[in-house]
């Protein structure tokens, strides 16, 4: 029999794909979102479904519903969005986390927190393993997100230790795919849109910084496996270990879209992590999980999507 599952941030990019998957698996889904960066468009195909409920609310406010599982994804994820109102980002991460932990405590639900590779900051260890404590500047413009997510992890761990709440933590590395918001500002959606519109591809700095790009379907598989694996609380990295420079991504996007756009260099952004790649040994061992979609395949699907909305 299906479970009752709450997905906060469910109308966002990742959340909406997760809602789709949970409905396909036969669960009843409550999608909870304040529509700050998410949209009804992302979930419109689910709105007529009697086992899908959309609740327009803010995680900063307490909430009660009888649920078995909570995926806590509510939080703006792109640097321009989370830096737009940094105090609200901290509140969403910290108060939102506490509200969801209180809900888990009251209902006995299992809670999975969507944490991030940003907890490793500008990492001095490469690739990043879960044992690495990170290198985060608490005063930088990224700190509202990085420190907010770090504090959320602390809350998950304290609620587990002190109150016996069933919490799990996943650290998500850069994820992309259809339904990223057009104004998102993250590198994959920016480059694809710029290439399709014939605009310049904007590389911040010299383009030598690296990221590892994970296609959203791989992440959703990892989230679902983590939620349903007993006796494993994490934190666990979920990401694609392929590592690319931002310049390589720009060139690949231009080639795959057949675009004549130029690649231009803009000033580097503050506190931008120089390199990032997950060590996924733990996820392989404990979840039997690893990504199956290559950057080329994932970009193909993403480009296809953005052609329809550009």
* Residue 226 binding ligand NAD, by CB under 6 A: no
Q: Which does 34 bind (CB under 5 to 8 A by kind): ligand UDP, ligand NAD, none?
A: ligand NAD
267-286 b/e (C-beta count within 10 Å ≥ 16 → b): eeeebebebbbbbbebbeee
* Residue 114 binding ligand NAD, by CB under 6 A: yes
Among the listed residues 83, 99, 107, 116, the single contact to ligand NAD using CB under 6 A: 116
Q: Which of 143, 156, 154, 78 is nearest to 113 (CA)?
A: 156
Q: Which does 119 bind (CB under 5 to 8 A by kind): ligand NAD, ligand UDP, none?
A: none
* Residue 269 binding ligand UDP, by CB under 6 A: yes
Nearest-angstrom CA–CA distance, 214 and 117: 12
Would you mind telling me the total number of residues written for the chain in this entry? Answer: 310
Q: Which does 211 bind (CB under 5 to 8 A by kind): ligand NAD, ligand UDP, none?
A: ligand UDP
For ligand UDP, the closer CB: 69 or 211: 211
* Residue 9 binding ligand NAD, by CB under 6 A: yes
Residues numbered 174-233 forming contacts with ligand UDP, rule: CB under 6 A? 174, 186-187, 190, 202-204, 209, 211
* Residue 23 binding ligand UDP, by CB under 6 A: no
Query: How big is the chain by its Cα radius of gyration, in Å?
Result: 19
Query: Alpha helices of 25-142 — where are they, by DSSP H?
Result: 79-84, 86-107
Token pair in block for residue 190: 């920016």
Minimum Å distance from CB 221 to ligand UDP?
Answer: 21
- Cβ neighbors of 239 (< 8 A, separation 6 or more) are 117, 171, 172, 173, 174, 175, 212, 214, 277, 278, 280, 291
Q: Which does 203 bind (CB under 5 to 8 A by kind): ligand UDP, ligand NAD, none?
A: ligand UDP
Residues numbered 69-98 forming contacts with ligand NAD, rule: CB under 6 A? 73-77, 92, 96
Question: For ligand UDP, how many residues bind (rule: CB under 6 A)?
Answer: 14
Cis peptide before 199 (omega within 30 of 0): no
DSSP count for the chain of H helices, then E strands: 9, 13
303 to 29, 109, 194, 214: CA distances (angstroms)? 29, 38, 11, 15
Residue 145 annotated in active site: yes
> Which residues does the annotation mark as catalytic?
145
Binding site for ligand NAD (CB under 6 A): 8-9, 11-15, 33-38, 58-60, 73-77, 92, 96, 114, 116, 172, 174-175, 181
């Amino acid at each position: 029999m299906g479970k009752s599952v709450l997905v906060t941030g469910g109308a966002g990019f990742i959340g909406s794909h997760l809602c789709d998957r949970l409905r396909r698996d036969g669960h009843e889904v409550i999608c909870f979102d304040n529509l700050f960066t998410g949209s009804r468009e992302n979930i419109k195909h689910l709105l007529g479904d009697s086992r899908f409920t959309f609740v327009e609310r803010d995680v900063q406010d307490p909430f009660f519903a009888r649920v078995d599982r909570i995926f806590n994804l509510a939080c703006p994820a792109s640097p321009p969005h989370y830096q737009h109102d940094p105090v609200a980002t901290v509140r969403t991460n910290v108060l939102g986390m506490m509200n969801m932990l209180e809900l888990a405590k009251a209902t006995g639900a299992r809670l999975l927190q969507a944490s991030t590779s940003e907890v490793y900051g500008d990492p001095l260890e490469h690739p990043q393993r879960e044992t690495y404590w990170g290198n985060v500047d608490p005063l930088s413009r990224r700190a509202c997100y990085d420190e907010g997510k770090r504090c959320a992890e602390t809350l998950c761990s304290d609620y587990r230790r002190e109150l016996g709440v069933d919490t799990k933590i996943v650290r998500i590395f850069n994820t992309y795919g259809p339904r990223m918001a057009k104004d998102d500002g993250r590198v994959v959606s920016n480059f694809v849109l710029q290439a399709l519109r014939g605009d310049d591809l904007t590389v911040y700095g010299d383009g030598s910084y690296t990221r590892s790009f994970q296609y959203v379907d791989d992440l959703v598989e990892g989230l679902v496996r983590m939620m349903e694996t007993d006796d494993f609380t994490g934190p666990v990295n979920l990401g694609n270990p392929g590592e690319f420079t931002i310049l390589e991504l720009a060139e690949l996007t231009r080639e795959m879209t057949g675009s004549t756009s130029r690649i231009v260099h803009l000033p580097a952004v503050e506190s931008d992590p120089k390199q990032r790649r997950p060590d996924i040994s733990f996820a392989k061992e404990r979840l039997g999980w690893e990504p199956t979609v290559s950057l080329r395949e994932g970009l193909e699907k993403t480009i296809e999507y953005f052609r329809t909305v550009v």
